[in-house]
Amino acid sequence: SAVISQKPSRDICQRGTSLTIQCQVDSQVTMMFWYRQQPGQSLTLIATANQGSEATYESGFVIDKFPISRPNLTFSTLTVSNMSPEDSSIYLCSVLEYPAGPEGEKLFFGSGTQLSVL
Amino acid sequence: KQEVTQIPAALSVPEGENLVLNCSFTDSAIYNLQWFRQDPGKGLTSLLLIQSSQREQTSGRLNASLDKSSGRSTLYIAASQPGDSATYLCAVYAGNTPLVFGKGTRLSVIA
């Protein structure tokens, strides 16, 4: 299975600043996703990071607030812009893999970035 | 719109007990269902994935079942240990739509 390195693992930021989260995969993957998990809530998909083109955002998320880069098949970044306390969440990148065997496609996650905005 | 519900929201059991976590989903047209474990402040670890054509999957002390027609899945943990303490999430995948997650069950296993 893919090994996903995500950094930073946690950060405390001031209101109005921006933070860029990096996600590095040890193999080439087609599908990369960014999720958010607000305190006490389930995971919500922010966007699908497409290699070589703009990310596809889910309802409620916009590029100006969460710009995403995907320069190649092993790397992506998510920026949380102009942060407010409501952005305090865990942010996770994930990849879709197709392991050998009958299981079919499977989603793997990075270790997450715990963001606190003061 | 697919909705995933997990019951109970929290569970505390003594060490050694067998337990069952429940997951229900509203739209039975799923491709697969996956159970994850999340430790506090951490990312997710995939535990088991069940294809829509399967009825159960087993890994060690974990057994996950799927009844697609009734929109239910259970995660059975045998002989629970304090190291099993975590939040357990189920998620369903319908092919070309985002994975839909439940809110999770927070499990505490008391030594």
Using one digit for the tens of pLDDT, what is the confidence trace for A72-94? 999 999 999 999 999 999 999 99
A111 vs B: CB within 8 A: yes
Q: CA quadruple B108, A96, B99, A35: dihedral positive or negative?
A: positive
* The pLDDT of residue B96: 59
Nearest to A43 among B32, B45, B101 (CB): B101
* The pLDDT of residue A109: 84
Q: With a cut of 50, which residues of chain B have pLDDT below it?
A: none
Q: CA quadruple B4, A35, A94, A92: dihedral positive or negative?
A: negative
Mean pLDDT within A35-63: 87
Partners of residue A41 in chain B, C-beta under 8 Å? 103
- Residue A98 — very low, low, confident or very high, per pLDDT cuts 50/70/90? low
Whether A90 sits inside 8 A of B32 (CB atoms) is no
CB burial of A60-92 (b: ≥16 within 10 Å; e: otherwise) equals ebeeebbbbebeeebbbbbebbebeeebbbbbb
B105 vs A: CB within 8 A: no
pLDDT digit string (tens) for A1-28?
A: 678 999 999 999 999 999 999 999 998 8
Nearest to B46 among A106, A111, A112 (CB): A106
* The pLDDT of residue B36: 92
Count Cβ–Cβ pairs < 8 Å, chain A vs chain B.
56
Chain B: give the shortest CA distance to residue A16, in Å.
23
A92 vs B: CB within 8 A: yes
Give the burial class of B8: count Cβ atoms within 10 A of its Cβ; 0-12 exposed, 13-18 middle, 19 or more buried: exposed
